[in-house]
Structures are given as structure tokens and as C-alpha cells.
Structure 1
Amino acid sequence: MKIGILQCGHIPDALRGELEDYDQLFLTLLGDKGFEFEVFPVVDGAPIPAPDACDGWLITGSRHGAYEDHAWIPPLEALIRQIHAEGRPLVGICFGHQIIAQALGGKVEKFAGGWSVGRQVYTIEGEDIPLNAWHQDQVTELPADARVIGSTDFCKYAALAYGDHIYTVQPHPEFGADVIDGLIRTRGRGNVPDPLLDAAVAQLDAPLARTKMADRMAAVLKGEKA
């Protein structure tokens, strides 16, 4: 089964050679699930593929906002709408979660409550799921056909599903402690309030449910009900 990774961002330049890039993080996370992968670096201007170019799709995180004026965002939104209309499997993570909501009629904006950084415990499909976060933007208005399947007190729409084939989450199951540590060092100080960063550092060694979420993502991509 071939999964297309729509790459919408890169690891910071200062961390290249130290950490995997955003597409590779997903190859590692899902590497034992029996998939073949093709990466489409749309953030770099790569052509937007046809919806039938792959059996399922995954949209990565990004430092960009879904609402920003970039030439690659409108055609990506058009692809999302085609994938949805055809009922193809689609998973979105962080920016991916947001751009899918925006493409299908929702709203994304900088959250008035500020940043979420590091380990957070989400209630997703009735379970407490600890995962790493790194975001200020949030989905603030839902598309008409979105189902809320996960939340926290800070992030009301933390996980969404659409029909039986689209599954999206605001946190980053592909981010381990090394990625959060690197982002704190290269993008955090001066941008994110120090108390949030200090709290994230204090929890770098706390357990995460990355494998559980990888299994859920893989199930959706294989055509099981979202």
C-alpha cells in the first residue's frame, strides 16, 4: 500500500544533521506498518499530485500558518477536498490537522490563549493519550461534517474525524523528546514564554503514547474506520 506524504515544513536548519526532517520522522514512526511511501515536498513548490497517485495520504506539520498567503496552500486545499470527495484515507498532523479543517470550511487562527509546547495529555476517543505538542495556531471553527474525537481544556478541537476516512490530530505523535528539545533550543527561546518551555523541559523524559497513535494512524490509512 502506497502512502503519499505531503510535506509542508522542515526541521529547523540548525537541527539538520542532528534530527530527521519532518517527512523522515513519519517514515520512522510508521516504518513497521507495511507501507510504501512517496514524499511530495509541496512546501518547496513540488507539484501537487493527483488524489489517486497514492492509496492514502498524510499531511505533515509546518512552521507556516494555514491562513498564510503561500502559493502552495490553495492547491493543497483543493487536493484535500478531492481526497475527501473520493473517500480516500487521509491523516493530518498539527498543520495538517489545521489545513484539512480550513479546506473543508473551518477556521484556523492564532489562539488567544497562546502556545502549547511539550507533553500534553489529550482525551482522544475516550482514552488519555500523552503526546508532544508545538503550536500556537488552532482550529477555532469546525467544518460542517467534522466530528470532535479529542480535546483538552486548552485545545477544544484537538482531534477530528470526517466520514470514515479522515483522521486528524493537533499534537505531534512523530515528535520524540529529542525533537522538542531541539525546537526549544532553536525556535523556542524568545518566541514561546519561558515558563512553558521550562515545563516542557521538565517533562522531556515522561512517557508518550506515540506507538498507540501510530497504530491508529496506520489503521485509518489502511482503510479502517476513522
Structure 2
Amino acid sequence: MTATPPALPVLILHTGDPEPSLKERFGSYAEQIALAAGLEAGEVEAVPVHEGARPRAPQHYRAALITGSPAMVTDREPWSEDTAAWLREAAAAGLPMFGVCYGHQLLAHALGGKVGYNPTGSELGTQTVELLPPAAGDQLLDGLPASFPAQMLHAQTVLQPPPGAAVLARSDQDPHQMFRVGPNVFSTQFHPEFGPDFVRAHLERYQRKYMAENLDVPGLAANVRATPVAGGLLRRFLDLCAPAASRPQ
């Protein structure tokens, strides 16, 4: 009897971390995204690209998840541009991918979109995401409510989606909260992986900075709440686009 080969791992492109006190309490961004995706340690290959590490070729993975980061895509740091080149290769190879925040912006940049500072300012806390008409035919979003709360912590955003992208969701401050390129490359400006405790702690840690931007930090913190619909998207993505049992080695 022939043994079934082990499933290919899910690549986590680790693009940065919270500041040390938040990382100590809540884990790295790679750890938070793996937890939200329901992945065990043996299913994951986390590659800290922000430290100069490089992933293997796309065929070695069943999917890729791209984390958030305190870095800015527009800084065009060498590690970030190298990762963008890898993303183009992976998209051409048909690898399922899901980018979050910085990962969302980096995917857009890699595939021909435009990234910059959100002209409306930083978008923070728990905000409402509204699905757009193209979402009606999207399997990943099938059965979800027309609007739902999601966690936001970002200053830059996707100003222009990649050519051919289907824009799936918006918020009051951001017309490009979620897009899809082809059948299996998704990204969200919002954070499916963040829980309310992390968002509150982040707002507290950076309260002075955000208040200097004339933001109502106490009000934002008071509005932070659970986001179960957004929080389930990473698992749904893997179940739909890259189930472990159906991706041969």
C-alpha cells in the first residue's frame, strides 16, 4: 500500500512585527495569522522576509499568506521589492495567496496597482466593511452578510487595484478594502487575524501618536469589538482554495 505523501506547507511571508511589548503579549504577526488560519506548527513554513530570508519556489507550497507590517510599501525596501518579485512569480504559477494589510498593499504593488497614504488619514479600530456587487459571485464570500465589522490599523492603502482585479469590499475611508485577482489571489486591507484585545492594546500603546493626528482614540477603543465574520476568512480561504487533502506533493 502506497503511503499518502504529506501535504505541502502553507507559506507565511512574515513582513514585520508589532513593537516588542505587544509581540510579547500577543505573538508575532506570523503567529497571529497562523492561529487565525487554524494552522498547526507542522503545516506552516514562516519565512521572515523582513529580515532578509527568502522563500522557496512557489511549487513548494500549497498557499501563501502575507502578513501585516509596520513598514511602508512605498519605501521600496530591498526585501520588500524582492518579495514583490516572488509574488509575481507565484501569481503566474497559480499559487493561492491571501495578503493582509501590508500584504494586501504589497500584492497590489507587485501585480501592477498603486499604493500610497490614504488621503482620508489613518483608519483604525473596528470599522464596518461593506461587500460590493462583484462579491455576489465570489465563492469565498458566499453566504456572508452584506456588511460586517473588521479590525483596521493602517495609514497606507491601495489607491489603485491591480489591472483586472475584482474589488470585493469597501469601508467609509477605503474603497478598496478587499480585492481578488484571478480565481485564488485575495487580499484585505482589514485584519482578519487581529482580536479585539490586540487592537485595544495597540491603540493604547500609540495613543499619543494617534491623538496628534486628531483622532478620537478613546472613542475608537470603546468601539472595538469582536469580528467573527472577518476573522473566519483565512480558514475559509484555505478550505476553498488550498485544502491540505487535495494538494499533492
Scaled by the length of structure 1, the TM-score of the pair is: 0.90
Q: How far off is 1:164 after superposition?
A: 0.4
Distance 1:205 1:146 in 2: 30
Report the equivalent of 1:167: 186
Unaligned 5+ segments in structure 1 are: none
Report the equivalent of 1:152: 171
Report the equivalent of 1:11: 18
Q: Secondary structure at the match of 2:201?
A: helix
Distance 1:156 1:11, change over 3 A: same
Scaled by the length of structure 2, the TM-score of the pair is: 0.82
Distance 1:131 1:58 in 2: 18
Q: Secondary structure at the match of 1:16?
A: helix
Deviation per CA, 1:173-216, whole angstroms, max 9, x where unpaired? 11111111221122342245354422221112455424432333
Q: Conserved in 1, the CA contact under 8 Å of 2:195 and 2:227?
A: no
Q: How far off is 1:31 after superposition?
A: 1.9
Report the equivalent of 1:215: 235
Q: How far off is 1:159 after superposition?
A: 0.4
Q: How far off is 1:72 after superposition?
A: 0.3
Residue 109, structure 1, aligned to residue 129, structure 2: no
Structure having the higher Rg: 2
Distance 1:85 1:79 in 2: 10
Distance 1:76 1:100 in 2: 9
Distance 1:33 1:128, change over 3 A: farther
Letter in 2 for 1:172: H
Q: Conserved in 2, the CA contact under 8 Å of 1:91 and 1:221?
A: no
Q: Secondary structure at the match of 2:10?
A: strand
Q: Conserved in 1, the CA contact under 8 Å of 2:148 and 2:227?
A: no
Distance 1:34 1:20 in 2: 14
Query: Identity of paired residues, percent?
Result: 26
Q: Conserved in 2, the CA contact under 8 Å of 1:89 and 1:220?
A: no
Q: How far off is 1:172 after superposition?
A: 0.4
Segments ≥4 residues shifted beyond 3 Å: 32-35, 191-196, 205-208
Q: Conserved in 2, the CA contact under 8 Å of 1:117 and 1:196?
A: no
Report the equivalent of 1:82: 89
Distance 2:50 2:40 in 1: 26
Larger relative helix fraction: 2
Distance 1:205 1:153 in 2: 18
CA RMSD in angstroms, aligned pairs only: 2.1
Q: How many residue pairs were aligned?
A: 223
Of 218, 223, 231 in structure 2, the residue corresponding to residue 203 of structure 1 is 223
Residue 133, structure 1, aligned to residue 140, structure 2: no
Distance 1:61 1:202, change over 3 A: same
Of 102, 110, 119 in structure 2, the residue corresponding to residue 95 of structure 1 is 102
